[in-house]
Amino acid sequence: MYTQALNADESQRDQTLPAPDAAKLARFQAVIDAEDKIEPNDWMPDAYRRTLQRQISQHAHSEIIGMQPEGNWLTRAPSLKRKATLLAKIQDEAGHGLYLYSAAETLGLSREAYCDQLLSGKAKYSSIFNYPTLTWADMGAIGWLVDGAAIMNQIPLCRCSYGPYARAMIRICKEESFHQRQGYEIMVTLAHGTPAQKAMAQDALDRFWWPVLMMFGPSDKDSMHSADSTKWKIKRFSNDELRQKFIDATIPQGRYLGLTFPDPDLTFNDATGHWEHGVIDWSEFKRVLAGDGPCNRQRLKARQTAEAEGAWVRDAARAYAAKRSQRQATSQVAAE
């Protein structure tokens, strides 16, 4: 394993150091090319560190903000079983956020620092969570489509070059697979239910389809981070490649449900074996990223309120920890 001592304090300072020399860079790239992992104490270029800090923290924020759209239906789930399942899924998302903040912390910034970036509105999180959940069918659509898209994007991240991120993704992907199945099962139930239930499932698909395709990020020609992330084996497939894989996997699932996709240009190309889709409205994507999606303000406000209302718990925990260590120190002195 490639290691070059670099403690956490140094990693903070590393961002202001001059560019690495060619030998270090060559060794770093050789580790990546050999499919070995870069670990927190290994030397890494500033740009690699910054890319991972950005991507992993955005991913963590997405998991945390992503609890809100589903949380909206917890008290209105149609049965106790559905409620228990949804609750477990939402708790899983919280757990994913925590693994990911831990992985991001290994890059030399604290969880508090990342969370401050989110709370101040500076950090991004996935565009998809800025859309409302209007009916129970949206719980099916989120599991089927949003978790389905998340898995397509995240399975390759299990082989990402940065060890802590890759290892976190293995566990997260296992849980996301269950999430996808529970969502699809809701869609199967609704699509084979009464005409009103089927209409509700169709409406959810109509509203979520295009925003889900946008989850994969801008088209390859506009993806500014892809070249570096591919060279560093953070990304194994481009945004458009993953979007295409997702479309190819999802269309047969939708057809099995007897639902239609809200894209009149969707056609199967026999020669390529791929589904071709219509034009994505990238102006909508840009609007949502700029903070002007249907729920951006509501999502951020809910997070800020939760942070403020939880402050006393954190204060109490800190005061308790301080008292405990003081008591331990006093009893140690007395024993000596």
Site for ligand FAQ in 86-105 (CB under 6 A): 93
Question: Which member of 226, 244, 250, 296 binds ligand FAQ (CB under 6 A)?
Answer: 226
Closest contact distance (angstroms) between CB of 331 and ligand FAQ is: 45
User: Which residue lies nearer to ligand FAQ by CB, 2 or 46?
Assistant: 46
Q: What is the dihedral of CA 299, 303, 306, 312, to 10 degrees?
A: -170
Closest contact distance (angstroms) between CB of 146 and ligand FAQ is: 5
Closest contact distance (angstroms) between CB of 334 and ligand FAQ is: 51
How far apart are the C-alpha atoms of 143 and 130, rounded to whole Å? Answer: 16
β-strand partners of 269 = 274
If binding is defined by CB under 6 A, does position 145 make contact with ligand FAQ?
no
β-strand partners of 274 = 269
The runs of H, that is alpha helices, within the chain are 8-14, 22-33, 46-65, 67-71, 80-105, 111-119, 137-141, 148-154, 163-191, 195-214, 226-231, 239-256, 282-289, 296-309, 311-335
Closest contact distance (angstroms) between CB of 156 and ligand FAQ is: 9
If binding is defined by CB under 6 A, does position 127 make contact with ligand FAQ?
yes
Closest contact distance (angstroms) between CB of 220 and ligand FAQ is: 8
Q: How far is CA 326 from CA 322, 334, 335, in A?
A: 6, 12, 14
User: Which residue lies nearer to ligand FAQ by CB, 108 or 217?
Assistant: 217
If binding is defined by CB under 6 A, does position 224 make contact with ligand FAQ?
yes
How many residues lie near ligand FAQ (CB under 6 A)? 28
How far apart are the C-alpha atoms of 176 and 154, rounded to whole Å? Answer: 9
- Please choose, out of 1-9, 37-45, 147-155, 295-303, the segment that lies near ligand FAQ by the rule CB under 6 A: 147-155
Site for ligand FAQ in 49-68 (CB under 6 A): 54-55, 58-59, 62-63, 66
Q: Is 174 exposed, middle or buried (0-12, 13-18, 19+ CB in 10 A)?
A: exposed
Helix (H) or strand (E) holding 274, with range, is strand 274-276
If binding is defined by CB under 6 A, does position 130 make contact with ligand FAQ?
no
If binding is defined by CB under 6 A, does position 295 make contact with ligand FAQ?
no
The one-letter amino acid at 31: V
If binding is defined by CB under 6 A, does position 218 make contact with ligand FAQ?
yes
If binding is defined by CB under 6 A, does position 17 make contact with ligand FAQ?
no
Structure tokens at 48: 């690699």
What's the DSSP call for residue 162? B
If binding is defined by CB under 6 A, does position 164 make contact with ligand FAQ?
no
Task: Using only the alpha carbons of the chain, give its radius of gyration.
Answer: 22
Put residue 37 in one of left, alpha, beta given phi > 0 → left and psi -120 to 50 → alpha.
beta
Q: Shortest Cβ contact with ligand FAQ: which residue? A: 66
If binding is defined by CB under 6 A, does position 236 make contact with ligand FAQ?
no
Asked if 299 and 130 touch (Cβ cutoff 8 Å), the reply is yes
Question: Which member of 42, 105, 138, 147 binds ligand FAQ (CB under 6 A)?
Answer: 147
Residues that bind ligand FAQ (CB under 6 A): 54-55, 58-59, 62-63, 66, 93, 124, 126-127, 142, 146-147, 150, 153, 214-218, 223-226, 229, 239, 289
